[in-house]
Structure 1
Amino acid sequence: MVLTARQRDELNQAIHQYLLISYQQSAQLFKTEAAVKDGQIEADLLEKKWNSIVRLSKRVITLEQQVEQLNEQLAQAQAGKIQFNKSDDEQRLTPIEKFKLEGHRAGVNCVAFHPQYQILGSASDDGSIKLWDYESGHFEKTLKGHTSNVNCLAFDPTGKYICSASSDLSIKIWELKNHTCVKTLIGHEHSVSTVQFSDHGDFILSASRDKNIKLWEVATGFCKKTFSEHQEWVRCAVFSNDEKQIASCSQDQMIYIWVIDSGQVLHQLSGHEHVVEQVKYIPEHGAKQILTQQQQQNIQTINLLVSVSRDKEIKIWNTILGTNLFTLSGHDNWVNGVSFHPDGVHMLSVSDDKTIRVWNLKEQKQKKKIENAHDKFILKCEINKFIFATCSVDQTIKLWLLS
């Protein structure tokens, strides 16, 4: 593989930093010969990259063995020697606890995966943001700057920045390379509940207890548009799959679908009987498997939305038509968050009942329940390929393996 000029410079800087620790003369010779440019780079970056390569090599070997086993099973199945049943699918979807991450001094409100590297971010009521290596379970760095609870985190698509929302009324943008805050966005008049980057990283969407949703331009830090219709605290706001719409949910028990260009409300979705905690769009490849061919007719972009509520229910909505497709019931307490399995059909949810539940959206039913996944209320969850992260009032983050 041929490195780009930038990649070569970063590699040379990492080698130089590594040599500086124990081999100063060699480091100076290498700097001269390789024309290493001065710049800030993590001192242990080369070791981290090497450890990543070792872990990935082991993972590749494991996956190759699994592929070989599956090929053998497939050959046997085609020969009629074995048969698969539904229990195999349920076993495959069972989360297996890998790591328990401890370090926060208060409840953990949010977790977010880096889009490229094995970094997990966590936000807490202790006012801090922590970065973890989710492959090893090791703590990496604490980001401090907020003066109150940090409620939400989001990485930009390039992985260069992380954005945080806080009860101190501000949104901060942090540069990961130097772990420094490069912008603070001020404009909300109460706690900021959630933040999300657009797919290209040009904009940030925020929701607040001041009943407003704001669209911010990352380059300038200016608020480009404010959406105001909710009557109570806006708990969450997210971009649709095509980024032409926004979905928001509130303490007023309503879900609004907004047209971004006009700023107008397209649909008001009612049906929940308590605070709606989170909304999330189902990935399009999953939505296509849920809708029938007839339901997909004349729809260019399929925007199906999931909402979770303190009424213990999960609802799936067609946001183009503004209709409720079906409701999932099973949790025994407030439902706080959901995340989607890579297959697009299965969804995991977390709740104040301390359980993790696995749902088949196509079959519209629960497939698995993990009891006492945390000691206290589980607040949010996220999936990155086959790593599932949960965070809780018990001040911990747990990482689970999915197959």
Structure 2
Amino acid sequence: MSQLLTSRQAEELHKSIIAYLSASNLPNSAATLRSELNIGDSFDDEKRKKYEGLLERKWTSVVRLQKKIMDLESRCSSLQSELDSATPTSLARKNQDPASWLPRSPARHTLQSHRLPISCVAFHPIFSSLASGSEDTTIKIWDWELGELERTIKGHTKAVQDVDFGGPRGGTLLASCSSDLTIKLWDPSDEYKNIRTLPGHDHSVSAVRFVPSGVAGSPSTGNLLVSASRDKTLRVWDVSTGYCVKTIRGHADWVRDVSPSFDGRWLLSAGNDQTARLWDASSGEAKSAFLGHEHVIECCCFAPPASYVHLATMAGLKKAPPASSSSEFIATGSRDKSIKLWDSRGTLIKTLVGHDNWVRGIVFHPGGKYLISVSDDRTIRCWDLSQEGKCVKTLDDAHGHFVNCLRWAPGVVKDAGTTNGDVSGAAVNGTSGKKEDPGGGKVNIRCVIATGCVDLNVRVFAS
């Protein structure tokens, strides 16, 4: 038999074994081994003590190294898989172009404090604050860069269904809505004090969004807020007065979600009647209905202008619509496990199939090339619009249970002259793909998304 160890290494091993047997109160075995190896009295008790515990330490080190090797092999396999599906172009641009960034495991932070499932998340448009709402009736504010809980906001008496940052020129507000039939406004600059409660809906309020401002034909103040409810209506509120300025009716059942266009001209809603509807925000008149899903529509959003070039190709158009148009294409996600892409006239462009359970949240990548979705199948999926909506990435271990919500951090506006929390030129929370804001400033994409789950965890995925 060939020797794997040098004579020196073998001698050290033998002495370690003798020391181990002696320390384990096995003197006969130790003496027999001494005799067979011709280790004499020079290896006395004093020298033996030097070798006591050495064998155990080596053994535990080997186990630790084996685990580390297995972890590294798993990581290597994951990276190899990613490499195999990459193209030379994507490799060259990796970690360089934010427009090509996609979330990857593991999450940068897993935020834990809620006592019941998380229903919603929203990013502050300027600071590194993230709000999460839960069925435990609370809202929690986190620093998503540090992964730390900043405060817990209490005020609602039933489950918090949605949260959103936005508001008037010169001051960002946080809006929340709940199954307690109310919408509440909180002031981040005054320790999130509850400054106003908006009653009026006759049933649970499912979604709430600030309506962006700043273009001709839309409100210039940023004072408007839109909400969707189980009472089958959308309501538009003036947050400076607390008055409901418009009630929009047209859905036949629970309205689950509402999304404003980036310029505030249009509203998109969807719900239990298995339809999505496009509304003129100023008049409240219906423009289009989107029919085709076979179950409740859980989520909806407008496509950013950056994605028009890809969606126009999918729609068979020779030329992409102008970037100034804010309602050319939309996306909807449903309990029928599918995501559908539509043009503004209600024509179905593409159905994205891949999720194994209800689709609960969707957001377009600000760069325009991708659509990101989350589902009750516990995954995050990334769909490439430049490849006819092909699913190019799946995070199978995104969460341990149903993933309820998803948001993309709004872009940071550079050289736009925003000060003191003025978000008039900031990108819409998680929806904007514009490269310039109305004030002429450049919008830098923030490669950060947040998800909330039934497993009580909020996760932040960041570059």
1:326: which partner in 2?
Answer: 350
Q: Is residue 316 of structure 1 aligned with residue 341 of structure 2?
A: yes
**Equivalents in 2 of 1:167, 1:332: separation in Å?**
28
Measure how far apart 1:258 and its partner are: 1.3
**Equivalents in 1 of 2:336, 2:458: separation in Å?**
25
**Equivalents in 1 of 2:119, 2:358: separation in Å?**
15
Return the TM-score normalized by structure 2: 0.66
Q: Is residue 390 of structure 1 aligned with residue 451 of structure 2?
A: yes
Q: Is residue 160 of structure 1 aligned with residue 172 of structure 2?
A: yes
Moved more, 294-303 or 363-372: 294-303
Q: Alignment length, in residue pairs?
A: 319
The 3 A distance-change label for structure 1 pair 101 and 297 is closer
Q: Work out whether residues 95 and 388 of structure 1, in 8 Å CA contact, stay in contact via their aligned partners in 2.
A: no
1:371: which partner in 2?
Answer: 396
Q: Work out whether residues 290 and 345 of structure 1, in 8 Å CA contact, stay in contact via their aligned partners in 2.
A: no
2:65: which partner in 1?
Answer: none
1:78: which partner in 2?
Answer: none
The 3 A distance-change label for structure 1 pair 159 and 278 is farther
Residues 67-82 of structure 1 mapped to structure 2, 5 A cutoff: none
Higher relative contact order (CA 8 A, sep 6+): 2
**Equivalents in 2 of 1:298, 1:85: separation in Å?**
27
Q: Work out whether residues 122 and 129 of structure 1, in 8 Å CA contact, stay in contact via their aligned partners in 2.
A: yes
**Equivalents in 1 of 2:456, 2:177: separation in Å?**
18
Larger Rg: 2
**Equivalents in 2 of 1:298, 1:102: separation in Å?**
43
1:2-47 residue CA offsets vs partner (Å, 9 max, x unmatched): xxxxxxxxxxxxxxxxxxxxxxxxxxxxxxxxxxxxxxxxxxxxxx
The 3 A distance-change label for structure 1 pair 169 and 94 is closer
> Hey, which of these two has a bigger chunk of strand by percent?
1
**Equivalents in 1 of 2:324, 2:132: separation in Å?**
36
1:84: which partner in 2?
Answer: 88
2:284: which partner in 1?
Answer: 263
1:247 partner SS: strand
**Equivalents in 2 of 1:227, 1:155: separation in Å?**
22
Residues 4-403 of structure 1 mapped to structure 2, 5 A cutoff: 84=88, 93-96=102-105, 97-156=107-166, 160-178=172-190, 179-200=192-213, 201-292=222-313, 294-296=318-320, 301-303=325-327, 304-319=329-344, 321-363=345-387, 364-384=389-409, 385-402=446-463
**Which amino acid in structure 2 is aligned with residue 196 of structure 1?**
R
1:220-272 residue CA offsets vs partner (Å, 9 max, x unmatched): 11111111111110001111233222111010101111122332211111000
The 3 A distance-change label for structure 1 pair 84 and 159 is farther
**Equivalents in 2 of 1:159, 1:130: separation in Å?**
20
**Which amino acid in structure 2 is aligned with residue 137 of structure 1?**
G
Q: Work out whether residues 308 and 320 of structure 2, in 8 Å CA contact, stay in contact via their aligned partners in 1.
A: no
1:5: which partner in 2?
Answer: none
1:47: which partner in 2?
Answer: none
**Equivalents in 2 of 1:159, 1:327: separation in Å?**
40
Q: Work out whether residues 291 and 346 of structure 2, in 8 Å CA contact, stay in contact via their aligned partners in 1.
A: no
The 3 A distance-change label for structure 1 pair 159 and 124 is farther
**Which amino acid in structure 2 is aligned with residue 225 of structure 1?**
K
2:425: which partner in 1?
Answer: none
1:291 partner SS: helix
**Equivalents in 2 of 1:115, 1:171: separation in Å?**
20
What is the root-mean-square deviation of aligned Cα atoms in Å? 2.0
1:362 partner SS: helix
Consecutive unaligned residues in structure 1, runs of 5 or more:
1-82
**Equivalents in 1 of 2:180, 2:102: separation in Å?**
39
Measure how far apart 1:330 and its partner are: 0.3
1:90-149 residue CA offsets vs partner (Å, 9 max, x unmatched): 995342311110000000001100000000000000000000000110100011110000
Measure how far apart 1:286 and its partner are: 2.0
**Which amino acid in structure 2 is aligned with residue 267 of structure 1?**
S
1:29-77 residue CA offsets vs partner (Å, 9 max, x unmatched): xxxxxxxxxxxxxxxxxxxxxxxxxxxxxxxxxxxxxxxxxxxxxxxxx
Return the TM-score normalized by structure 1: 0.75
Which portions of structure 1, spanning 4 or more consecutive aligned residues, are displaced by more than 3 angstroms? 85-92, 295-300
The 3 A distance-change label for structure 1 pair 192 and 346 is same
**Equivalents in 2 of 1:269, 1:193: separation in Å?**
20
Q: Work out whether residues 103 and 461 of structure 2, in 8 Å CA contact, stay in contact via their aligned partners in 1.
A: no
**Equivalents in 1 of 2:163, 2:259: separation in Å?**
13
**Which amino acid in structure 2 is aligned with residue 167 of structure 1?**
S
**Equivalents in 2 of 1:354, 1:287: separation in Å?**
29
**Equivalents in 2 of 1:287, 1:152: separation in Å?**
28
Measure how far apart 1:160 and its partner are: 2.4
Measure how far apart 1:348 and its partner are: 1.3
**Equivalents in 2 of 1:214, 1:163: separation in Å?**
14
Measure how far apart 1:290 and its partner are: 2.7
The 3 A distance-change label for structure 1 pair 88 and 195 is same
Moved more, 360-369 or 272-281: 360-369
**Equivalents in 2 of 1:325, 1:241: separation in Å?**
21
Q: Work out whether residues 90 and 368 of structure 1, in 8 Å CA contact, stay in contact via their aligned partners in 2.
A: no
Q: Work out whether residues 94 and 368 of structure 1, in 8 Å CA contact, stay in contact via their aligned partners in 2.
A: no
Q: Work out whether residues 375 and 403 of structure 2, in 8 Å CA contact, stay in contact via their aligned partners in 1.
A: yes
Measure how far apart 1:85 and its partner are: 5.1
Measure how far apart 1:87 and its partner are: 6.5
Q: Work out whether residues 111 and 389 of structure 1, in 8 Å CA contact, stay in contact via their aligned partners in 2.
A: yes
The 3 A distance-change label for structure 1 pair 99 and 284 is same
Consecutive unaligned residues in structure 2, runs of 5 or more:
1-86, 96-100, 214-221, 410-445
1:64: which partner in 2?
Answer: none
